[in-house]
Structure formats: structure tokens, C-alpha cells
Amino acid sequence: MNEYDSEIMAGLLKDSGYHLADEMEVADVILLNTCYVREKVKHKVYSKLGELKKLKEKKPGLILGLCGCLVQKEPKETLRQAPYLDFILGTSNFFELPQVLREICGDNRGGGERGDQVAVPFMAQARKRRTQVVRVEEGRAVPENLPKLRKRKFGAFVPVIRGCDNFCSYCNVPYVRGREKSRSPKDILKEIEGLTHQGYKEVILLGQNVNSYGRGLEKKIDFADLLGLVNQIEGLSRIRFTTSHPKDLSDKLIKRMAELDKVCEHLHLPIQSGSNRILSRMNRGYTREEYKCLVDKVHQIIPQISFTTDIIVGFPGETEKDFEDTLDLVKEIGFDGAFTFCYSPLAGTKATEFKKRVSQEVSKERLRKLIEVQQGITLERNKPLIGQNLEVLVEGISKKSPYELEGRTRGNKIVIFKGKENLIGELISLRITEAGCWALRGEGELTI
Ligand code: SF4
């Protein structure tokens, strides 16, 4: 979501006459868009701001801004830590960026929320300015039809719902992103149609919990219905979505996933822990048995599904037995992949009040064990793919191997292969020749 908001900010700036600088040193405006899901983020941001402060001292015209979740959560603290910031914009104000820049530069001509088409002759204006702008409101809807400078050229993010009503005890999303707000299906479809005209073949529907899409909308619609509508868009080949909350994964949605040809056979379903005691303390709203039952159901209806998950270890009160329960469930389910984390207390969340903190050493050791187990499982899940011909959307030059390309299967597996750069963005068929735990290797590309 944060990346998508950054694409909007870049798009707004481009429409206002700015262009992306290749290096920080030559930029006239530097923006950090912060995601605050872990306390560590805060230290990283302030350390980065410390560096930028030095740059600003050398170049007084430089405009420095901070946006996103950290600012939304702690505006006063942010300004106390970094009083030299020229502006801060919260998660409900980031789209006011062009207007805010004009205010800073002493140009108060106003304009719409987009600050349409008023290019600022930057450095000249910047020398005059000295206003610090602070905009951190709550719950404002993000306007539709904002311009975007898309970073991803092969698959585009499209938010369908923003915010969250779930209040997991370790998470601050409901506080920094507000309550759930679904976009209208009309706006979503219009955005995706526009993307297909630009040549995008894949969309990734985004939401903190896509499964609660539609609540509060005038028209009666749920996420399964929305998938059906998106599936009808001509020119689109693949639909992905993230994230699904297990408690809201309906039978209707599972059935619809199986029926719709463009919906990829991949489900990211965060489990977080395999211990019922910890799941309850996390306020997740399901038990390990219910989660397992869901996974079995999906496997029955979509046998080729690939499952990934998120797991937190070292949650306050997690005993060795709780951790063993998580390991057992991980082995029993056999996830294709897992994003694993040590619990990190986040100020203002319920979990910070819980007693019996798990020490860092213990958390790290549990994480190490979990990763080791999961890597073995991922490898075992990948091996049967050897010899199969799989559809791959080519995403770009491989991050692991600069002379090769990489793409993604419908099951969300990365495939590395030798090929010409003009294949980037194309759907091809590759025969899988090797399986590792991070990626597969393929050959013999055929454009589909
Ligand atoms: S579902 Fe829980 S973890 Fe996910 S965004 Fe909402 S509160 Fe946070």
C-alpha cells in the first residue's frame, strides 16, 4: 500500500512539472514515505534523516519531507526529532503534496487537491520559502483518478480496500491507516482497464484485508464478486491479491478462485502462530484447527494452489511448547513459502502491555529454527515442478544473476532463465529444469 501511495506521489509531482532525480545529491525535494509495521523502521528513518540533514546544511534550498505511517502515528515526536523537516504529510494527506510544495515555496495560489499542473520553478522559489507545513488528518478518503508513476512495469498494484478493522494486538495499521474503506467497483475496474490499455498483464489487488471488501458500500458486493468483474476485463491475463485474513476467507471466494481463469493459484494466508493460546493473545479470531481446515478446503477445491504465510515468533508469552506448535503446524501444512519475523513491540499496541517478554536471543534462535524448517519444506514443494512446463510472466533482469532474466509462475514461484530482454513483460512457457528454495530455473521459452 505504501509503495502504491509513493507511486501516486511521484505521479502528482510529475504532473506538476517535476522529474525523478537520479541521485539524492542533485534532488531539490527529498521525500521519505514511511511504513511503520516494526519499531526498527523508526530508527532507520531517523538515521536516514540525520544524513539528509547534513545534505540540507550544504544545500539550504533543499526541501525535505516525511510522509506515511510513522508521521501519522507520531507527528509531534517526528517534528521534535527532525525540526528541520519542511513538511510532514499523514496517510490521509499525502495526495496534497503539490499544493504543500507550493505553500512551502511561498506560492499560495491554492488549486485542487492535486495542485493541478502548476510547475514550480524550484530553486528560485525555494530560496524565499521558510514555512513548515504539517498535515496529519484522520480518515480522509483518497481521491480517485490521481496520476501514478508506476514503478512496476509488469504487474500493477491496485488497492481495493484501505485500512483495517481487525485490531490484532501487535499491529498499528488500524491506528495509522484508519478503518476499512472499500473503493467502488466502478473506480477499481476503470483503473484496471486503464492499466490493460497501457500493456499491463497482471494486477495485484491490495488491501490490509481484501476479504472484507465491500462492507459499507452502497451496492451489495463482496470480494468474490469483485474478482468475477475483474476477470472479465479484456487484455488482462492474471489477477493476484493480498492480503487475506483467514477468518474472512469465505467458501464463495475459494470457489470463485477455482472458477476464474485469470485468478492465479496462489494464496497468501497469514497464520502468525500455530499455538491457539498465542493466536488468542494476538486477537487473530481463528484457531489452528480452523486455519488447518481452511487450508484443506482450499487444497480440495484448488489442488494446484500454492500457499504462503506470515509467522511471528517470540510473541510475548510464547513458550517453547507454543513455538513447537507453530513448527508442527508449519510441517503439517507444508507452506510453499513463509515471511518470518521476530516479534517487535510497536508503541501504542495492546501487545506492548503483555507480560513475559521473550528475550531477543530466544526469539532469534526460534526464528533460525523456523527458517531452517521452512526452507526444507519450500525445497520439497518446488522439486516436483522439475520437468513441468509453466506459464511465467517475465519481470526483468534477475536479481541473483545479472545475465539472466526472472519471472513468476502463477503459483508465485520465481523462475530464472536465459533470455532476451525484449521478453520482459511477456507471458512465456518455460520448462523447469532445477528447483532451489529461493527460485526455480527454467529453459526453452515460448511466448504464449
Ligand atoms: S488484519 Fe491484523 S495484522 Fe493485518 S492489518 Fe489488520 S490489524 Fe494489522
Fold of domain 2-135: Rossmann fold (3.40.50)
Name the 3-class secondary structure at 173. Answer: helix
pLDDT tens digits, one per residue of 341-356:
999 999 889 999 999 9
* Rounded average pLDDT over 15-34: 92
Which CATH number does the domain 386-447 belong to among 3.40.718.10, 3.30.70.260, 2.40.50.140, 3.40.190.10?
2.40.50.140
pLDDT tens digits, one per residue of 282-297:
999 999 999 999 999 9
- The rounded percent of the chain whose pLDDT value lies above 90 is 81
Q: Which of 16-20, 130-134, 240-244, 360-364 has the lowest mean pLDDT?
A: 130-134
pLDDT tens digits, one per residue of 186-212:
999 999 999 999 999 999 999 999 999
The closest-lying atom of ligand 1 relative to the alpha carbon of residue 172 is 8
Q: Cα(first)–Cα(last) distance of the chain, in Å?
A: 31
Residue ranges, comma separated, of all CATH 2.40.50.140 domains in the chain are 386-447
CB distance 204 to 244 below 8 Å: no
pLDDT of residue 344: 92
Looking at the structure, give the CATH architecture of the domain made up of residues 152-264.
Answer: 2-Layer Sandwich (3.30)
CB distance 302 to 411 below 8 Å: no
Distance CA 347, CA 175 (A): 11
Residue ranges, comma separated, of all CATH 3.30.750.200 domains in the chain are 266-385
Tell me the pTM: 0.90
* Rounded average pLDDT over 373-384: 98
Distance CA 305, CA 246 (A): 16
Give the residue, by CA position, lying nearest to ligand 1 atom 8.
171
Strands 238-242 and 266-268: unpaired
pLDDT tens digits, one per residue of 142-164:
899 999 999 888 889 999 999 99
Distance 172 CA to ligand 1 centre (A): 8
Ligand 1 proximity of 27 Cβ (cutoff 6 Å): no
Distance 105 CA to ligand 1 centre (A): 38
pLDDT of residue 107: 61
Q: Which of 57-61, 283-287, 357-361, 368-372 has the lowest mean pLDDT?
A: 57-61
pLDDT tens digits, one per residue of 265-285:
999 999 999 999 999 999 999
Domain 266-385 has CATH 3.40.1160.10: no
